[in-house]
């Protein structure tokens, strides 16, 4: 045990200042309450807390190349982008409810006209888009099954479906 009048010498690393937080992380910590309150108004308490946390994870190691003039605006933009990505992904992953009346396949009187328009729309699609579209929407195959059947990647199936839907939308709109 050292004597009472002895000085305790701290190790060298204890004397050096702690590394400063990156500027955007420091701004996040300064504006966290404001950011969370704005996100709470928009998305609810639980989602706001998650989005704010995701925002911190995004900015905690970011070191900008130039000074940040409007840190609150930048933090809000990052948070809104993360929220948009979050809700887009959730909508993509949400399974369709089999009880949904939109999925009901019973026939109605106007079905013959609709079938003729649908057939005309399908014939207007290029063959590679039509194959993917028919397998997904007529045969009910998953994108993975379509990729295996056509011998293409899952990304190519998604791209062709986007193109087919865009052309169908344009056809219906005209």
Q: Cα 55 vs. chain centroid, distance in angstroms?
A: 14
Residue range 7-17, pLDDT digits in tens: 555 555 555 55
Helix, strand, coil shares of the chain, percent, nearest 5, are: 70, 0, 30
Centre a 10 Å sphere on the Cβ of residue 150 and count the other Cβ atoms it contains.
15
Gap between the Cα atoms of 34 and 42, Å rounded: 13
Separation of alpha carbons 58 and 50, rounded Å: 12
pLDDT single digits (tens) 153-165: 999 999 999 999 8
Whether residue 33 has pLDDT greater than 70: yes
C-alpha span between 42 and 53 (Å, rounded): 16
What's the pTM value of the predicted model, to 2 decimals? 0.46
């Amino acid at each position: 045990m050292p004597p009472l009048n002895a000085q305790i010498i701290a190790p060298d690393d204890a004397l050096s200042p702690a590394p400063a937080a990156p500027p955007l992380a420091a701004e996040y910590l300064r504006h966290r309450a404001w950011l969370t309150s704005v996100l709470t108004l928009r998305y609810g308490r639980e989602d706001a807390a998650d989005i704010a946390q995701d925002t911190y994870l995004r900015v905690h190691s970011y070191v900008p190349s130039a000074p940040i003039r409007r840190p609150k605006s930048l933090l809000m933009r990052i948070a809104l982008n993360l929220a948009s990505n979050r809700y887009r992904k959730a909508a993509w992953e949400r399974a369709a409810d089999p009880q949904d009346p939109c999925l009901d396949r019973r026939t109605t009187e106007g079905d013959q006209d609709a079938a003729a328009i649908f057939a005309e729309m399908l014939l207007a699609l290029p063959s590679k888009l039509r194959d993917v579209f028919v397998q997904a929407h007529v045969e009910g195959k998953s994108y993975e099954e379509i990729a295996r059947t056509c011998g293409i990647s899952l990304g190519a199936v998604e791209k062709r479906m986007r193109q087919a839907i865009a052309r169908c939308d344009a056809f219906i709109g005209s």
